[in-house]
Amino acid sequence: MGCFLRARADLGDRGALWGVAAGAAMMAWMRPGDAVWVTLPLLVLSAVVRRWRSPRLFVALAAGLGTGAGAWVFESHASYGGLGQRLSDASRIQGGRGWNFAVDDQLRSLVGRTLCRPCTGDLPHVAVMAWWFALPVLAGLGLAVAIRAGRGAPTLALLACAVSAAAPYLFLIGYAAPRFLLPAYALLAIPVGDALVCLVTGPNGAWRPVVGTVVVLGLVGHVSVQYVVLAHTVKGTVAVRDGWSRTVMELSRLGVRPPCLLTGHNAIPIAFYAGCASAHTSGNNANVTREGILRGAERMPAAVLVAPGGGPPEFARGWPSHVFGELRVHVAPGRESPWRPPPAVGQEALVMKPSLTLSKMGR
């Protein structure tokens, strides 16, 4: 954004033009879809709006997007049946892109849910949500401050990019995660900063004691609430990962050790901790057939992890079952790994082994 504004002010600034192209390429390389949404207002401004029209800026943006997304587009045609098919598959995995009012989902995710899908339950306490509603108000105040200072156009362009970046995650998908809106928050931080500075200082730059104190107390309260959310999230995350580590220890005791194969509930992270391959026959992570799992179980220790209240797949119903905590594990009979942990190996050594793919296990 900064390079775009610099290049608009001085089209002879080659460094700024290269910065526009490089920034667009980096965004498209990381997340092609998001890059298009973030740069959409800039593309429109540089191509359509007379005061902002600049073929050089438009070409720099388009070239950057094309360069960054080139490998992704090529991969779409080489491995996914074309760009349209890949976009269609991505939409299906996300539950179908289209009108989905996800503002309430984003609010529910503010309590520390890294992925809110399905996003159910009550809305968080008002203290947790207050900053989210204050953000657009302060951004609007920041725009007013910028207009009064004669720099309204750049701030308006920045806000347009923030709105464009947030729109698909607020209105086009049916779930939420706090990280989805991080680009929008970063863009909004600039006008919000302008607004806060304007609130706490007078026309001559003098400190306003009353308003300044209120703003400082508000920021302290916000940081305190965020710390509580962080502590709660960390506590829950540590508990979950401790559970995965205990599951790995129990699986090792049952003979499910590398090389091994896991499928079912939370199979991917637990397999990573255990040094096993993970496999799924259905869902977004499907990577093998039923027969493929059975063939794998003939070559190595294999187990099915069953969530509380669930049942094993048909092929594992006859496998011996074991329960630890709320998790039920069905272990394929007749296979034990020749690998044994040395006496000094503990939980820490087990959880650091990398997960292997099923294709590697079959070599």
Residue-wise pLDDT for 97-106, tens only, equals 788 899 999 9
The answer to whether residue 188 sits within a structural domain is yes
Per-residue pLDDT tens, the chain, 363 aa: give them: 899 999 988 888 899 999 999 999 999 999 999 999 999 999 999 999 888 999 999 999 999 999 999 999 999 999 989 999 998 888 887 777 788 899 999 999 999 988 898 888 899 999 999 999 999 999 999 999 999 999 899 999 999 999 999 999 999 998 999 999 999 999 999 999 999 999 999 888 899 999 999 999 999 999 999 999 999 999 999 999 999 999 999 999 999 999 999 999 999 999 999 999 999 998 878 889 999 999 999 999 999 999 988 899 999 999 999 998 889 999 998 755 444 443 333 333 333 343 443 433 433
28 and 43 within one domain: yes
322-325 contacts, C-beta under 8 A, 24 or more apart: 322/250, 322/254, 324/246, 324/247, 324/250, 325/243, 325/246
335 and 248 within one domain: yes
The answer to whether residue 168 sits within a structural domain is yes
Question: What pLDDT does 17 receive?
Answer: 93
CA angle 344, 350, 352 (to 5 degrees): 120
Of 74, 93, 112, the residue at which a domain comes to its end is 93
Q: How far apart are CA 218 and CA 200, in angstroms?
A: 12
Q: Which domain holds residue 103?
A: 96-200
Domain tally, the chain? 3
266 and 350 within one domain: yes
Question: What pLDDT does 166 receive?
Answer: 96
Q: How far apart are CA 40 and CA 48, in angstroms?
A: 12
The answer to whether residue 264 sits within a structural domain is yes
The DSSP element (H or E) to which 249 belongs, if any, is: helix 209-253
The answer to whether residue 82 sits within a structural domain is yes
Question: Is the previous residue joined to 313 through a cis bond, with omega within 30 degrees of 0?
Answer: no
Taking each helix axis from N to C end, the angle separating 14-30 and 2-9, rounded to the nearest 10 degrees, works out to 150
| Phi, psi (deg, nearest 5) at residue 262 | -125, 145
123 and 71 within one domain: no
The answer to whether residue 86 sits within a structural domain is yes
Of 166, 200, 234, the residue at which a domain comes to its end is 200
88 and 102 within one domain: no
| Phi, psi (deg, nearest 5) at residue 194 | -60, -45
- The type of residue at 105 is D
107 and 81 within one domain: no
The answer to whether residue 144 sits within a structural domain is yes
69 and 10 within one domain: yes
356 and 259 within one domain: yes
Question: What pLDDT does 351 receive?
Answer: 37
111 and 27 within one domain: no
| Phi, psi (deg, nearest 5) at residue 116 | -100, 80
* Structure tokens that stand for 94 in this block: 């996300």
* Structure tokens that stand for 104 in this block: 């309430």
The answer to whether residue 47 sits within a structural domain is yes
The answer to whether residue 210 sits within a structural domain is no
The DSSP element (H or E) to which 331 belongs, if any, is: strand 327-331
83 and 4 within one domain: yes
The DSSP element (H or E) to which 322 belongs, if any, is: strand 321-324
54 and 129 within one domain: no
- The type of residue at 361 is M
Question: What pLDDT does 304 receive?
Answer: 96
- Cα distances from 361 to residues 128, 298, 316, 349, 353, in angstroms, run 46, 12, 20, 21, 15
Question: What pLDDT does 285 receive?
Answer: 84
Of 146, 174, 200, the residue at which a domain comes to its end is 200
355 and 247 within one domain: yes
Q: How far apart are CA 96 and CA 105, in angstroms?
A: 16
Question: What pLDDT does 121 receive?
Answer: 87
Residues 323 and 311 sit within 8 Å (Cβ to Cβ): no
- Note if the pTM is more than 0.75: yes
Question: What pLDDT does 335 receive?
Answer: 56
